[in-house]
Every structure is written in structure tokens, then in C-alpha cells.
Amino acid sequence: MLKSALTLLMSCLCAGPGFAEPHIGVQTIITRGDDDPRHLSLSVWYPAQEGGSFEVVGGNAVFVGQPAYRDAAMAPGKYPLVLLSHGGLRSAADSGAWLSGRLAEEGFVVVEVNGPRPNSAEDAVNDIWRRPQDVSRALDQLLRDPVWSTVVDPSRIAVAGYALGGTAALALAGGRFDADAFVTACEEIENGLDCAWYAAQGVSLAAVDREMLERAHRDLRIGTSIAIDPEYEGIFLAPSLTGQGADLRVFRLGAADHAKFDTIGLAQAVIETATRYDAFPLCTPKGRFILAEDGGDAALCEGDPVERARIHDEIADRLGRKSVSD
């Protein structure tokens, strides 16, 4: 059997104590950089003791939320940390709550990093390099926090990202961006990314801050980087994706041709029956109709919900304890 690309979240990080009946806690940390007005909302998920206020996180009219206990006391122990950057430019906050909750059940502390949602395409161009910075700032915040710094094992830190978050995971592992390739990305890719959105607002990718884009974004504190269906994968300088200190893996939702990664020998695992939309939460019964009426992408809620739930189980298993046997 193809070894899961995400096994290292267990074999390398070695999750903390298991719980017969997991009680999942969640807290929110709002942070603002000392020299950067960009604020982050960090949703911290963790194995908890009984107590706290029951809440459903990340739910709305379109998506089903994840149950947790707000501000429940942390269960004793020291735990590996997963930094989660989920979704594309316009994904809602806590869209990865379903996955964060599952990993917390397996004995991880998980921090979903929610940056500010761009108000316009012009604001969004620089998110390509801001995402990895956001993750590193979130890690700064946790490791200097008087409580969380005693809970997190600094030798067992991973980042997992989907879509643009997957791009950030590659950068945090040492992947370097080719600014020229990014500027022309919308000319090379059809029906992908947010190119139509940029075009409709008259925004060119050439507006990116090239100096910031081309900087190294490697975070040496992160030992394992997992990229799930990363966007803009063609704009990475191929040599930068190999030979890094981080253990880097790419995980695919659905079989597709990814010749660049195949050529450089970057390990990839695939759930062939999945689609890229299966990384989003389960949809409410009216979710597809609401998206269609509001001009959103109704495809986010297409497909069999039972099959999406099954794929969620497989994704979570590959990131969690059951992946040891793969």
C-alpha cells in the first residue's frame, strides 16, 4: 500500500496520550504583530478535561461546524503541535475546524491560523507570501505564551496546509518562490486559483511585492510540512523543494498530473476518489442552493455527503493515529 504522505504527523511527532472518550477544547487567541497591523485569529484545539461551554465552531448556513468545549481546561501532558493553514484566499475562518477537532481527539494541539480575509483582489495579491509569515507569527505567539509554551513540545512541530495553505507549507519547508513564474501564473493555469476574480477587478499578479515574495520563508522550528493540494505549485524553484531540513510531503485529493513534483522526486500520496472540495466541511442541506443564489461556487457542496464524510475520515486517519499502519 502507498505509504501515507502524512504518516509523519504520528511517526515523527508521536502524538500525546490517547483518550477513551475525547473531550475537545477550543480557545481563540487574537494577535497583532509589533510592526505589522495585520491581525490573526488563532483557533487553538486541544485535548481537554471535562468542562467548558459547548459550542459548534466554524458552522454557518453553508457548512456544518465542529463541536468543542470553549475554554475547557487543558488535559495534563505535553503535546505535539500542528499549525493548520486551510483554504484559499476567500475561505471562511475556521473552515478547517472539522480537521482540527479530529486531530485534537488524537492527542495533538492544533492551531488553525486565520488571517484577515482580503477585501479586494488588490489586497489579496500579497497573500502568497503573507500566509507563511502568518504561520510563523502564530508559532511565535504560542511559544512565548506562558501557558501554551509549557504544553507544546517544541521538538514536535508540524505545519499542514490545504490549497493556499498548502503553498504556505511548502514555503515553510524551504520552498523558494520564482517571482517571474508567479506574475505569469494566471496565463499558464486555466480554471484555477483566483485568476477570474483578479481579472474581473483589473488586478495583475505583477502587483505583488517581489522582494517579499522572493525572501526565504523557511521556519527552522517546523520539522514536518504537509501540503494538501497546494496552489501555485508551479512557481516554486524546484531545487528548493528538495534537500531541506524539514520532512516535506505532498498529499493529493484526486488523481492528477503533477509533472513538476514527479520529476524532482517529491513524495506524494493520493486519495483517488476525492476531489479538492472534499477538504471543506460537510455542507448543510441548503448549502449548495445558498452558494448558487449568492454567486458563490456551488461546486463546494456538490457530491454525496456520505462520501465526503468518508473521505474526511480517511484524511483525518492519515494525519492521525491510524496512519501508523499505512
CATH number of the domain encompassing residue 243:
3.40.50.1820
Taking the C-alpha atoms of residue 256 and residue 285, their distance in angstroms, rounded to an integer, is 30
The whole-number pLDDT of residue 208 equals 95
Number of domains forming the structure of the chain: 1
**CA-based nearest residue to 183, from 216, 217, 215, 210:** 210
Examine residue 77 and state whether it is found in any structural domain, yes or no: yes
User: Which residues, other chains included, contact 165 with Cβ-Cβ below 8 Å and sequence gap of 6+?
Assistant: 84, 85, 86, 87, 96, 131, 228
- A 10 A CB-CB count for 301 gives 25
Query: For residue 295, what pLDDT band results from cuts at 50, 70 and 90?
Result: confident
Q: Which three cell numbers stand for residue 326?
A: 499505512
What are 236-288's pLDDT values in tens digits? 998 888 866 678 888 889 876 655 676 677 778 888 889 989 999 999 999 99
Q: How confident is the model at residue 159 (pLDDT cuts 50, 70, 90)?
A: very high
Question: Does residue 82 form part of some domain?
Answer: yes
201 within some domain: yes
Residue 236 within any structural domain of the chain:
yes
Q: Which amino acid is it at 55? A: E
Which domain does 96 fall in, by range? 8-325
Average pLDDT, stretch 93-118?
Answer: 92
Indicate if the pLDDT at residue 165 is higher than 60: yes
pTM tops 0.85: yes
